[in-house]
């Protein structure tokens, strides 16, 4: 089955006063219809930049410097802005990190959903209104008629996120980008939002890319996981394999750092922090934190190599230990 | 449990059945709490009423002299007295209301609509567009408002349309700067990015989604500007660059009256002056009231 979205060797750089910041460096991944792909990594690992790059919304001083983005057979990086506008919100939708502030404070939430439908579906006012309320009902907002007439500041965070999901799904997009959709919510509401996303993704058959730094979320929600570190892709694997047998040293460290309730073992935090991405040199960016670092790691960036079950991993140590082939 | 049920019932009631009346009740409560703003709104309502029905309300023809009633002090026949030609001052003030308010309104609306669009695009686009707009605004701002208005009317001639153009040019820089500044703030907010991310073209993001969020400070500015427009127009007429006689206008009436200051015919300059002061004050007060009312975050708060 061919992929819906193919990201190939994508790099994004930001020109700052201190030098070039390489926020995303040569990331390659793909998403298939109906699957939920998790992207995990620490803060600053380039997850959110990757998401905005997929919509080609990287703002200056940021710039997509190289790579390819194919979506439904279109080359997104070559498309004129006008055609991209027809894709944003219609074929690819975004569920943002901060739902409340992503809603226009001066427009009722219902009208914002209506506007979207009128923009992309060319619906008239009445049809859009009915469709908007139906959408709010679909994301399980109680009393949707009344809620549609309210403003963002009158709704709870969870409610706002439901509205954002309603907006994201109103146009039946094929790809849904969810950028840490549960960050601003408390745990139980966050869990419900994720469950909702999962259900709606299943119903609509859309691909979902879920960005998060919470491995628990990944374990519960995703089918496949891409692990990012300092702008580079470390490992790409099915969710069960990833947790059972993490290959990349960084993934192993991440999995070990999950607090467990069933075992009396000390939590193992990962040493160091995400390295500065200003004027980075060649080589693996995890090398300073890596217990398995080899001489090659300092010189040369590890290529993304294929492993069993369609896994991909970028690590010299893994490559040499031959566990891969 | 029952408390919750009660709550829900109250909620429904409030919204489904009495929503319109509730809104009015809220407005009434607000007005009761802000009597000064309420008074100012009443004054503006009155001014608009007078402006619209001026021909009916005038007891005399405003520009027909009566040689038998020259320079009469206020009396029952002429409540605000008569001027040097025997024209009724009250009638002339009423007649001038139409002119002063409609010119001020026209000037403000023109400046507002141009300023809004230019400021919004300038702030949203940035770059060289913004640079050129800002320099042009700087040029306009380099002149004191009154000098600018004087210059324009002196250059174009003092017809009603030219006075309106002059007044709107004095207002324009403030609107452009205000909208641009708001736009710079608003365009970095997340809902601006959200609007882009759902496929809105950039002009739509700027004018449809973000511009409304830049307007609250503008409404205040525009209402204040209405007052200042009346004041500037009166000043222009006062120095003879505004509306040409015999058309009655508050400023030119004050100017005429001022020549009688030393001879004691006080009603000739006091009453038109009062008309100007009351109008400017009322617009200032309503400007402040509007700001409070139009901000939805303050809605429903005390």
Domain extents in chain B = 1-33, 34-294
Question: What pLDDT does residue B93 have?
Answer: 93
Euclidean distance between CA atoms B72 and B136, whole angstroms: 51
Question: Chain A contacts of B16, Cβ < 8 Å?
Answer: 146
Question: What pLDDT does residue B68 have?
Answer: 85
Q: What is the pLDDT of residues A270-304, one digit of tens each?
A: 777 777 777 777 788 888 788 877 888 888 888 88
Question: Would you say residue A321 lies in a domain?
Answer: no
Q: What is the pLDDT of residues A213-247, one digit of tens each?
A: 888 888 888 899 999 888 888 888 888 888 888 88
Average pLDDT, chain A: 84
Residues A166 and A273 both lie in one domain: no
Q: Which residue of A has its CA nearest to B295?
A: A106
Task: Give pTM, 2 decimals.
Answer: 0.72
Asked if residue B44 has pLDDT above 90, the reply is yes
- Please identify, among A129, A148, A170, the residue that sits at the C-terminal boundary of a domain: A170
CATH code of residue A209: 3.40.50.300
Q: Report the CATH number of the B34-294 domain.
A: 1.10.3720.10
Q: What is the pLDDT of residues B123-135, one digit of tens each?
A: 998 889 999 999 9
Which of B191, B209, B213 shows the shortest C-beta gap to A101? B191
Inter-chain touch B190–A96, beta carbons under 8 Å: yes
Residues A104 and A66 both lie in one domain: no
How many domains does chain A divide into? 2
Q: Which residue of B has its CA nearest to A118?
A: B200
Question: What pLDDT does residue B281 have?
Answer: 94
Residues A80 and A106 both lie in one domain: no
What ipTM was assigned to the predicted interfaces of this complex? 0.72
Residues A120 and A64 both lie in one domain: no
Q: Which residue of B has its CA nearest to A85?
A: B199
Residue B302, H or E segment: none
Q: What is the pLDDT of residues A162-193, one digit of tens each?
A: 888 888 888 888 898 988 888 777 888 888 88
Question: Is the backbone peptide bond immediately before A122 cis, with ω within 30 degrees of 0?
Answer: no
Domain ranges, residue A134: 97-170
Question: What pLDDT does residue B294 have?
Answer: 67
């Amino acid at each position: 089955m061919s992929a819906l979205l193919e990201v190939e060797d994508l790099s994004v750089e930001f020109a700052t006063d201190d030098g070039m910041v390489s926020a995303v460096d040569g990331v390659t991944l793909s998403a298939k219809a109906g699957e939920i792909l998790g992207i995990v990594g620490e803060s600053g690992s380039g997850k959110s930049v990757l998401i905005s790059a997929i919509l080609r919304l990287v703002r200056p001083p940021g710039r997509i410097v190289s790579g390819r983005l194919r979506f439904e057979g279109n080359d997104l990086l070559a498309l004129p802005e006008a055609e991209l506008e027809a894709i944003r919100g219609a074929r690819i939708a975004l569920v943002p990190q901060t739902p409340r502030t992503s809603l226009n404070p001066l427009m009722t939430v219902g009208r914002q959903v209506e506007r979207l439908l009128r923009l992309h579906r060319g619906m008239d006012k009445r049809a859009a209104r009915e469709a908007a309320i139906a959408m709010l009902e679909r994301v399980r907002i109680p009393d949707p008629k009344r809620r549609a007439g309210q403003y963002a500041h009158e709704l709870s965070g969870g409610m706002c996120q439901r509205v954002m999901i309603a907006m994201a799904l109103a146009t039946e997009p094929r790809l849904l980008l969810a950028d840490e959709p549960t960050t601003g919510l408390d745990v139980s509401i966050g869990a419900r939002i994720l469950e909702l996303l999962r259900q709606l993704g299943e119903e609509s058959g859309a691909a979902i890319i879920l960005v998060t730094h919470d491995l628990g979320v990944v374990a519960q929600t995703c089918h496949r996981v891409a692990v990012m570190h300092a702008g580079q892709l470390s490992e790409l694997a099915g969710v069960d394999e990833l947790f059972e047998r993490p290959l990349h040293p960084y993934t192993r460290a991440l999995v070990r750092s999950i607090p467990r309730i069933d075992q009396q073992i000390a939590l193992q935090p990962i040493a160091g922090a995400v390295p500065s991405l200003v004027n980075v040199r060649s080589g693996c960016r995890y090398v300073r934190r890596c217990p398995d670092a080899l001489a090659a790691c300092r010189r040369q960036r590890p290529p993304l190599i294929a492993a069993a079950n369609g896994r991909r991993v970028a690590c010299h140590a893994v490559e040499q230990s031959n566990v891969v082939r | 449990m029952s408390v919750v049920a009660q709550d829900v019932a109250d909620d429904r009631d409030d919204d489904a059945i009495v929503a319109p009346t509730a809104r009015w009740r809220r407005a009434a409560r607000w007005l009761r709490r802000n009597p000064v703003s309420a008074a100012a709104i009443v004054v503006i309502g009155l001014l608009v009423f007078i402006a619209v029905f001026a021909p009916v309300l005038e007891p005399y023809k405003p520009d027909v002299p009566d040689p038998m009633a020259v320079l009469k002090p206020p009396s029952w026949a002429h409540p605000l007295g008569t001027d040097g030609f025997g024209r009724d001052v009250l009638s002339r003030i009423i007649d001038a209301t139409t002119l002063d308010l409609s010119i001020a309104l026209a000037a403000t609306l023109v400046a507002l609509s141009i300023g809004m669009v230019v400021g919004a695009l300038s702030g949203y686009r940035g770059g060289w567009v913004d640079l050129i707009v800002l320099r042009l605004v700087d040029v306009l701002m380099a002149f004191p408002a009154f000098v600018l208005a004087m210059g324009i009317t002196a250059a174009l001639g003092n017809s009603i349309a030219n006075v309106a153009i002059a007044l709107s040019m004095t207002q324009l820089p403030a609107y452009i700067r205000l909208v641009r500044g708001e736009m710079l703030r608003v365009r970095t907010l997340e809902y601006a990015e959200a609007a882009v991310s759902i496929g809105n073209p950039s002009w739509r993001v700027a004018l449809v989604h973000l511009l409304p969020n830049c307007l609250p400070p503008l409404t205040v500015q525009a209402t204040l500007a209405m007052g200042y427009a009346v004041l500037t127009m009166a000043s222009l007429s006062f120095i003879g660059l505004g509306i040409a006689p015999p058309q009655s206008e508050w400023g030119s009436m004050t100017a005429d009256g001022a020549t009688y200051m030393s001879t004691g015919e006080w009603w000739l300059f006091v009453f038109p002056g009062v008309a100007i002061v009351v109008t400017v004050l009322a617009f200032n007060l309503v400007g402040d009231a509007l700001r409070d009312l139009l901000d939805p975050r303050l809605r429903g708060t005390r």
